[in-house]
Amino acid sequence: MAVDISKQQDKLDIDPIGMNIVNRIAPDSRVSGDVSYSGGLLVQGDLSGSGQINGRLIVWHGSQIQGQFRVLGDLYVFGRVGNVGASATDTVIECYGTAYIASSASTTGTIVAQKLRLYEGADLQGPFRTIKNIHAIPELDQKA
């Protein structure tokens, strides 16, 4: 009796149109400073600084993101988050969705997200923390 023990590969589909990825930092481009994007952002170059992405953020193969960013959507990492040799607090990505860390990804920064999906082979060196769902916690009446 033969038994197939091969693992099914996880698959991560990226559909820029369906995901409303309307902004892009092209390969070999560098953007630095305080930024704000409406809609999703595809980073194929380098992004550093701080800001907010009002949609999904995709950090592509060979690209890098450094600094303090808030993502109001899902985070997909195929490239690098943080800088080699830097402190984990130098780069903090706060994701109000699911953080998908692909097998090609390397993270030395801090990732804070509601959920984490880590793919086999991913290099998660920096810390990960969860964001508590504020809508799931009942508010207590503080009257005294």
Encode pLDDT of 6-30 as tens digits: 444 566 778 888 889 999 999 999 9
Better pLDDT: 47 or 88:
47
Contacts 24+ apart (CB under 8 A), 113-121: 113/75, 119/10, 119/12, 120/10
Contacts of 23 (CB under 8 A, 6+ apart): 37, 38, 39, 40, 41, 42
CA-nearest of 19, 16, 35 to 97 is 19
- pLDDT confidence bin for 4, thresholds 50/70/90: very low
CA-nearest of 44, 38, 85, 81 to 61 is 44
DSSP annotation of 88? T
The pLDDT tens digits for 53-108 are 999 999 999 999 999 999 999 999 999 999 988 888 899 999 999 999 999 999 99
Cα–Cα distance for residue pair 81/57, rounded to 1 Å:
12
Q: Is-contact 64 79, C-beta < 8 A?
A: yes
Cα–Cα distance for residue pair 43/38, rounded to 1 Å:
14
